[in-house]
C-alpha cells in the first residue's frame, strides 16, 4: 500500500480541529464538502477523497452521483463522522468506504435521519467551530451516563426525545438538561448530577470516528472496491459535471463532455440560445427538448392541472384567437368541428406543457442546446452570435437599447406569425425570462438586421 498521503484530499469542518487532523494525516484539507466539489476533483485523480463534514440545508449538498463518478473513475472515496458517514452508508454497495460508529449505525439502520449529525458551526475564519451539539453525540453521552449510573434510562430517553424535537442549531445538551430540570420533568438533584458529569465526560463520537479514518488512511489503507458498475449520465448530472469541471472530461464510457459555457467560435451557450429566440425557432427546439426531459425527468410535468393553470391557458387561448366571450368560444368550436371537452383536454395538456417549461430550468436550456447541436443548427447560430458580438463592439449598446422596442417587437410578431400575442405571451412562448429581456434582444437584432440589409444594398450598388 502507498504511504505518501499528500495527494489525499480531506473535506473537514467542525468535527475535528484542522491542526489535530493534520497531525494525524498529512494531506490536502478543504472546507466542508458541497455540491460539485467531488466532481471537480475527479479529473485530478487524487489518491483518495475523504469526506468528514459537508454543507447542507442552505448550501447544496454533495451529490451522490459525483461520488459515484469518482468511484467509477477509480478514485477511492471514504467517509466518516458526519456527511461522510451518511454518504458512505448510502453508497457502500457501489464502493464508498465507511468508517466508525456513526457510519455503522446508519449502515445497520439504527439511525435514519440526516439531522443526527447536523450542527451549527462558525465560518472558515473561525475554524468552523461547532456551536451546537450533534444528536449522535448527545445519544452517546447520555448512554455513557446511564452505564456510569449517573442517570436512569427513562431520564436519558426523555432527554433524547427532547433533543430530537429541538431544531439542530439549538441543540445543546447542557441547555436540554437545564430545561428538563426547570420543567420538573425528573428529579432535580439527578439532573444537577448529570449536568456536572456531562461537563467532564461528554462523548464526541464524530471526532473519534474522524480520527480513526485519518489514522487508517495515514497507514496506507484505502478500503476495498465493491463490484464494478456503469454510471448512467442524465441531464442533471451532465450539467453539474460541466459546471464543476469546466474543461472537457470523460463520463463513464468515455464520451467527451465539454464546458457548457462555451460554444463554437467562442460564443457562449447563452448567446446561441438568444440567436435561437430571435430567429423564431425556439418553440420547435423547446418542444423537442421537453420531449427528452419527459423521458429523463418525468416529474417536470407531473401532477394534476390546477384551476389556476387551466384558466391561464384558457385566457392565453382566447387572446391568441381573438375570442372575447364564451359565445365567441362556442362559435370557434363550431367552426373547427370540436366540442368543449376536446378543447378542455387540449388546454389541460398545454397547462402541463407550460409547467414543464417553468420547472425545466437550466436542464431545459441544456437540452435545447443539445438539440441545436444534434440537428446541426448550432454552428450557424454560433457564427451569427459572434458576428453580432463584433458588430455591437463598434456601437453604443446603451443607445441601441434606449430606442422604442415597439417596432422591433412588431417585426418579430410578423416573423413568428403571432400578431395577436401580448408581449408577455410572446416572451413566454419564445423562451425569454421577461419582456425586458425580450425587448433588449429584439432591439439589438432589429438594428443588426437593418444594418446588415443596408450593407448588402450598398454592396450591390
Q: pLDDT at position 152, please?
A: 85
Query: Does residue 60 form part of some domain?
Result: yes
Among 63, 146, 49, CA closest to 96:
49
* pLDDT of 302 higher than 80: no
Q: pLDDT at position 264, please?
A: 39
Instruction: Give per-residue pLDDT as tens, 3-25.
Output: 455 689 999 999 999 999 999 99
Among 203, 224, 254, residue at a domain's last position: 203
Query: Does residue 1 form part of some domain?
Result: no
The set of residues, in sequence order, having a beta carbon less than 8 Å from that of 290 and lying 6+ positions away, is 300, 353, 356, 357, 360, 364, 367
- Angle at 440 (CA atoms; ends 454, 311), nearest 5 degrees: 125
Q: Do 160 and 185 meet the contact criterion of CB atoms below 8 Å apart?
A: no
Q: Do 62 and 83 meet the contact criterion of CB atoms below 8 Å apart?
A: yes
Residue predicted with more confidence, 172 or 350 = 172
Q: Answer yes or no: do 285 and 397 share one domain.
A: yes
Confidence of residue 214 (pLDDT cuts 50, 70, 90): very high
Global pTM value = 0.55
Greatest C-alpha distance within the chain: 103
* pLDDT of 341 higher than 80: yes
Q: Answer yes or no: do 185 and 214 share one domain.
A: no
Q: pLDDT at position 443, please?
A: 93
Residue predicted with more confidence, 141 or 259 = 141
Mean predicted confidence (pLDDT) in 387-413:
89
* pLDDT of 254 higher than 80: no
CA distance 64 to 67: 5
Q: Answer yes or no: do 164 and 309 share one domain.
A: no
Q: pLDDT at position 289, please?
A: 84
Signed CA dihedral, 254, 256, 236, 369: sign only: negative
Instruction: Give per-residue pLDDT as tens, 225-236.
Output: 655 676 766 656
Confidence of residue 252 (pLDDT cuts 50, 70, 90): very low
Q: pLDDT at position 248, please?
A: 35
Q: Answer yes or no: do 445 and 329 share one domain.
A: yes
* pLDDT of 2 higher than 90: no
Q: pLDDT at position 239, please?
A: 67
Average pLDDT value over all residues in the chain: 82
Q: Answer yes or no: do 408 and 320 share one domain.
A: yes
Confidence of residue 303 (pLDDT cuts 50, 70, 90): low
Instruction: Tell me what percent of the residues of the chain surpass a pLDDT of 70.
Output: 85
Grid coordinates belonging to 137: 453525540
Q: pLDDT at position 127, please?
A: 82
* pLDDT of 250 higher than 70: no
* pLDDT of 320 higher than 50: yes
Query: Does residue 231 form part of some domain?
Result: yes
Q: What is the DSSP letter of 455?
A: H
Q: Answer yes or no: do 66 and 18 share one domain.
A: yes
Q: Where are the alpha helices (DSSP H) in 168-325?
A: 173-183, 188-201, 205-218, 235-245, 269-278, 282-296, 307-321
Instruction: Give per-residue pLDDT as tens, 15-71.
Output: 999 999 999 999 999 999 998 899 999 988 898 999 999 988 777 889 898 999 899
Q: Answer yes or no: do 102 and 185 share one domain.
A: no
Query: Does residue 3 form part of some domain?
Result: no
Confidence of residue 249 (pLDDT cuts 50, 70, 90): very low
Instruction: Tell me what percent of the residues of the chain surpass a pLDDT of 90.
Output: 33
Contacts 24+ apart (CB under 8 A), 368-376: 368/273, 368/276, 368/282, 368/285, 368/286, 368/288, 368/289, 368/431, 369/260, 369/263, 369/269, 369/272, 369/273, 370/289, 370/292, 371/285, 371/288, 371/289, 371/292, 372/272, 372/276, 372/285, 375/285
CA distance 14 to 372: 46
Q: Do 239 and 35 meet the contact criterion of CB atoms below 8 Å apart?
A: no
Distance from CA of residue 37 to its chain's centroid?
A: 12
Q: pLDDT at position 3, please?
A: 46
Among 235, 255, 290, residue at a domain's last position: 235
Among the listed ranges 136-145, 236-245, 268-277, which one has the minimum average pLDDT value?
Answer: 236-245
Query: Does residue 46 form part of some domain?
Result: yes
Instruction: Give per-residue pLDDT as tens, 259-283.
Output: 333 343 445 788 899 999 999 999 9
Q: Answer yes or no: do 196 and 94 share one domain.
A: no
Number of independent structural domains in the chain:
3
Grid coordinates belonging to 157: 430517553
Q: pLDDT at position 1, please?
A: 37
Among 179, 203, 227, residue at a domain's last position: 203
Q: pLDDT at position 233, please?
A: 64
**Coil, strand or helix: which one is 247?**
coil
Q: Answer yes or no: do 176 and 245 share one domain.
A: no
Q: pLDDT at position 265, please?
A: 41
Q: Answer yes or no: do 261 and 283 share one domain.
A: yes
Q: Answer yes or no: do 199 and 211 share one domain.
A: no
Q: How many CB atoms lie within 10 A of CB 84?
A: 36
First vs last Cα of the chain: how many Å apart? Answer: 79
How many Å is the Cα radius of gyration of the chain?
30
Q: Answer yes or no: do 372 and 392 share one domain.
A: yes
Query: Does residue 314 form part of some domain?
Result: yes
Query: Does residue 409 form part of some domain?
Result: yes
* pLDDT of 193 higher than 60: yes
Confidence of residue 154 (pLDDT cuts 50, 70, 90): confident
Mean predicted confidence (pLDDT) in 82-106:
93
Q: Domain span at residue 42?
A: 8-124+207-235
Among the listed ranges 90-99, 158-167, 321-330, which one has the minimum average pLDDT value?
Answer: 321-330
Q: pLDDT at position 273, please?
A: 92
Q: pLDDT at position 340, please?
A: 83
Cα atoms found within 13 Å of the Cα of residue 373, Cβ hemisphere only: 12
Element (H, E) at 365: helix 340-374
Instruction: Give per-residue pLDDT as tens, 164-187.
Output: 988 888 888 888 888 887 777 667
Query: Does residue 39 form part of some domain?
Result: yes
Among 69, 74, 85, CA closest to 37:
69
Distance from CA of residue 28 to its chain's centroid?
A: 26
Amino acid at each position: 500500500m502507498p504511504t505518501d498521503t499528500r495527494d489525499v484530499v480531506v473535506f473537514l469542518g467542525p468535527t475535528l480541529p484542522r491542526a489535530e487532523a493534520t497531525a494525524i494525516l498529512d494531506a490536502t484539507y478543504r472546507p466542508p464538502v458541497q455540491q460539485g466539489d467531488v466532481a471537480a476533483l475527479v479529473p485530478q485523480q487524487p489518491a483518495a477523497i475523504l469526506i468528514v463534514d459537508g454543507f447542507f440545508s442552505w448550501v447544496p449538498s454533495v451529490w451522490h452521483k459525483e461520488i459515484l463518478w469518482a468511484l467509477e473513475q477509480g478514485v477511492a472515496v471514504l467517509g466518516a463522522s458526519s456527511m461522510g458517514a451518511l454518504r458512505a452508508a448510502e453508497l457502500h454497495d457501489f464502493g464508498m468506504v465507511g468508517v466508525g460508529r456513526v457510519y455503522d449505525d446508519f449502515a445497520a439502520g439504527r439511525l435514519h435521519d440526516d439531522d443526527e449529525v447536523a450542527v451549527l458551526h462558525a465560518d472558515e475564519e473561525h475554524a468552523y467551530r461547532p456551536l451546537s451539539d450533534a444528536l449522535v453525540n448527545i445519544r452517546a453521552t447520555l448512554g455513557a451516563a446511564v452505564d456510569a449510573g449517573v442517570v436512569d434510562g427513562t431520564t436519558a430517553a426523555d432527554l433524547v426525545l427532547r433533543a430530537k424535537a429541538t431544531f439542530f442549531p439549538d441543540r445543546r445538551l447542557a441547555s436540554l438538561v437545564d430545561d428538563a430540570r426547570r420543567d420538573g420533568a425528573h428529579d432535580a438533584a439527578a439532573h444537577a448530577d448529570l449536568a456536572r458529569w456531562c461537563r467532564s465526560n461528554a462523548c464526541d463520537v464524530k471526532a473519534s470516528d474522524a480520527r480513526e479514518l485519518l489514522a487508517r488512511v495515514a497507514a496506507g489503507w484505502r478500503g476495498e472496491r465493491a463490484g464494478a458498475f456503469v454510471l448512467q449520465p442524465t441531464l442533471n448530472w451532465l450539467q453539474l459535471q460541466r459546471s464543476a469541471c469546466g474543461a472537457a472530461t470523460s463520463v463513464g464510457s468515455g464520451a467527451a463532455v465539454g464546458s457548457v459555457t462555451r460554444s463554437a467560435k467562442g460564443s457562449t451557450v447563452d448567446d446561441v440560445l438568444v440567436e435561437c429566440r430571435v430567429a423564431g425557432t425556439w418553440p420547435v427546439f423547446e418542444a423537442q427538448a421537453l420531449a427528452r426531459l419527459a423521458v429523463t425527468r418525468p416529474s417536470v410535468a407531473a401532477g394534476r392541472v390546477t384551476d389556476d393553470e387551466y384558466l391561464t391557458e384558457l385566457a392565453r387561448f382566447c387572446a391568441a384567437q381573438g375570442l372575447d366571450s364564451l359565445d365567441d368560444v362556442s362559435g370557434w368550436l363550431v367552426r373547427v368541428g370540436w366540442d368543449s371537452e376536446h378543447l378542455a383536454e387540449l388546454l389541460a395538456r398545454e397547462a402541463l406543457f407550460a409547467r414543464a417549461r417553468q420547472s425545466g430550468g437550466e436542464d431545459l436550456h441544456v437540452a435545447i442546446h443539445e438539440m441545436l447541436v444534434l440537428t446541426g443548427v448550432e454552428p450557424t447560430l454560433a457564427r451569427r452570435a459572434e458576428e453580432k458580438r463584433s458588430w455591437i463592439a463598434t456601437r453604443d449598446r446603451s443607445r441601441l437599447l434606449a430606442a422604442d422596442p415597439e417596432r422591433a417587437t412588431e417585426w418579430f410578431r410578423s416573423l413568428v406569425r403571432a400578431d395577436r400575442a401580448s408581449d408577455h405571451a410572446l416572451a413566454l412562448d419564445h423562451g425569454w425570462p421577461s419582456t425586458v429581456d425580450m425587448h433588449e434582444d429584439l432591439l439589438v437584432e432589429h438594428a443588426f438586421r437593418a444594418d446588415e440589409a443596408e450593407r448588402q444594398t450598398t454592396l450591390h450598388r
